[in-house]
Amino acid sequence: MLFLLPSNNVTFHNTETKPLIVGGLPNSRGVVATCSYEARAFGVHSVMPSSTALRLCPHAIFVKSRFDAYRDVSEQIQTIFKEYTELVEPVSLDEAYLDVTTIDHFNHSATRIAQDIIQKIKQKTQLTASAGISYNKFLAKIASDINKPNGLFTITPNKDPNLLNNYPSVNSMVSAKLLNKKYTL
């Protein structure tokens, strides 16, 4: 997630290199909303029961979600997006699709636009962001996961179809069709 963890790290200092889990506390019926890469190394992931996360990573720091803070940061980031395009489709507090096909800035380069957005998010919020660029939302989502955290990746129609084979939900036939532009989502 884009900003849930850094927003909590502001409150819980010196947690950058420790396993951090945001969500319900382990002695409740809560679940993990998100977790740091340090916690993920122990098998912790979103939507997992917090009690299971504690068993997998007993030295993790658990913090409750701070939705008001997340909403405030989300609004700041949405404002940044709208500096580039009005065609913003929010998916969640920390994720959105932007259609920049008609933007004249940066010589119509979606990659350069994304780089500028990432930089502006860092300047205005002190948070990192990742971006995925492609010709459809499905591939843009996959691209955004490739160089996390604080990364950028572009999937063009001429990318190697085997690129998507590392994703269990994408079989090789779907991968080839998507990358050959026979189908778009």
> 55 near 97, Cβ under 8 Å?
no
Q: Which among 38, 75, 89, 95 is annotated as catalytic?
A: 95
* Cα separation, 42 vs 170, whole angstroms: 25
> 170 near 141, Cβ under 8 Å?
no
- Show the CA angle centred on residue 83, arms to residues 79 and 89, nearest 5°: 65
DSSP string, 87-148: -EEEEETTEEEE--TT--GGGG-HHHHHHHHHHHHHHHHS----EEE-SSHHHHHHHHHHT-
CA atoms within 13 Å, Cβ hemisphere of 174: 11
> 117 near 74, Cβ under 8 Å?
no
86 is catalytic: no
Active site residues: 95
